A and B are shown apart, each in its own frame.
Chain A
């Protein structure tokens, strides 16, 4: 009888106080969406930085007259190097074709029999931090004339990413606390209007658990629906911003690949966060109303 009463009471609470419930859901959705916008921004910037870092290439140019044996030796050493993820050989003929494709009319002076372009190796390195050391090592290889890389730019990117990570932790914590506070206050305000009902239940000998259960279940449902609504808001806004951005920055090929919405586990986590916040806020509010001895 008690379980049936508690289920019925939860549904009844939602029906009778539907205005408060709607306000609670909307507030929860907006509070979580604010946090979600930040999280989305952070995850995408992180993703973008990782893409840029993983796309960094080091190019080693051999001397123009390097023999087949030298080319083969350098190739073997680079393939064996632990810092290298991928290595691609650009032959003299390939280099000439690429040059002609890029420079067209300006490349007319280059003839097939008089190709001054050297053989080169294009490499992807395992981590941006190891680039400097790797470049120094390659420079010492016999037959290598020049190594091209962007260490300075990489260093700056690494600093920006680490600063952003630190800032993200601070801002993320502040936003999470603010979100929790907003949700707690909304739920508390809603429960405060029902304090007389709680007082009557105490008058007839209801235990704290009996009084709290319908409100806690209601809080959890409110939080979960709010979390779901915040996901919908975020997805709609994200797709709109993404299409605007892709049109505005057409020159950046990797942008579309870098911009991603929350993966399913993070989306579920946001709904779960709403549920936990709603549930916890209700519990704290009911407890504060129950603990007054009257």
Chain B
């Protein structure tokens, strides 16, 4: 599903990723852990095509990200749900409008889109706020909307960057439970966090990063 071959990425001669090699298979749940600045966000951005690696090769669903033409990138992104650290919601639009947007982009029929949005909002527990503008929601609610937007298209991979970073423990537990559900449905999940509590709750593989390197690759026992 995702393969890294000796990937490096530099910002101003400083290595954000250094000779990273690993492989994630379909349906796996992988936690990227490590302190701030370890390279977790850069790794996710490289997978999503937001950054071009300076060295090495990355295959995502057998497509070489580094060589992918800019006009093909949107089509790859439609198969990946991305939950950014800062939510990135359209604050002037309602919860419903934010979540339906990826389906409009993909040209899904209106009736089908409505049905899917309703089901997804219910799944993330925010269906009662679908007519509210995203900008007035709490951080926890915005995080749920962001997750709903990422999974409404039924992507094969979900990338989440510190999805509990802005939340209190109780809300963080709920969000982690949500990712468990997404994973249980067969979606490959790659979640970046530096939160030990989140790591302890997640079942699956942990890639430990430090200074741009993957320093350990362990399977969590629960």
Contacts and interface: CB of A to CB of B under 8 A. Distances in A.
Contacts of A201: 101, 105
A47 interface: no
In the complex, which range does the number of interface residues on chain B fall in?
A: 20 to 34
A1 interface: yes
Contacts of A207: 71, 74, 105
A291 B70 contact: yes
Contacts of B90: 197, 200
B71 A208 contact: yes
B109 interface: yes
B102 A293 contact: no
Contact of A293 (B70, B78, B92, B110): B70
A108 interface: no
B104 A202 contact: no
A205 B74 contact: yes
Nearest to A6: B104
A93 to B, nearest CB: 86
A2 interface: yes
Interface in B135-162: 149, 153
B7 to A, nearest CB: 16
Interface in A199-221: 199-208, 210
A241 interface: no
Nearest to A210: B105
A133 B92 CA distance: 77
B88 A1 contact: no
Nearest to A207: B74
A103 interface: no
Contacts of B78: 204-205
Nearest to B77: A205
A203 B88 contact: yes
A16 interface: yes
Contacts of B107: 1-2
B162 to A, nearest CB: 16
A200 B89 contact: yes
Contacts of A291: 70
Nearest to A208: B71
Given A199-B88, A294-B50, A204 B77 contact: yes
Nearest to A16: B92
Contact of B88 (A5, A16, A200, A205): A200
B59 to A, nearest CB: 18
A5 B51 contact: no
A196 interface: yes
A205 B50 CA distance: 12
B34 interface: no
B113 A203 contact: no
Contacts of B212: none
B16 to A, nearest CB: 14
Interface in A138-184: none
Contacts of A293: 49-52, 70, 73
A113 B213 CA distance: 122
A202 B71 CA distance: 11
Given A199-B88, A294-B50, A205 B106 contact: yes
Interface in B37-89: 45, 49-52, 70-71, 73-78, 82, 84, 88-89
Interface in B78-126: 78, 82, 84, 88-90, 92, 101-102, 104-110, 113
A205 B89 contact: no
Interface of A: 1-2, 5, 16, 196-197, 199-208, 210, 291, 293-294
Interface of B: 45, 49-52, 70-71, 73-78, 82, 84, 88-90, 92, 101-102, 104-110, 113, 149, 153
Q: State the 6 A-B residue pairs at the shortest beta-carbon distance, nearest first.
A: A205-B78, A205-B77, A204-B102, A205-B74, A206-B105, A207-B74
Given A205-B102, A210-B105, 8 more contacts: A2-B104, A201-B101, A203-B82, A203-B88, A206-B74, A208-B70, A293-B49, A293-B52
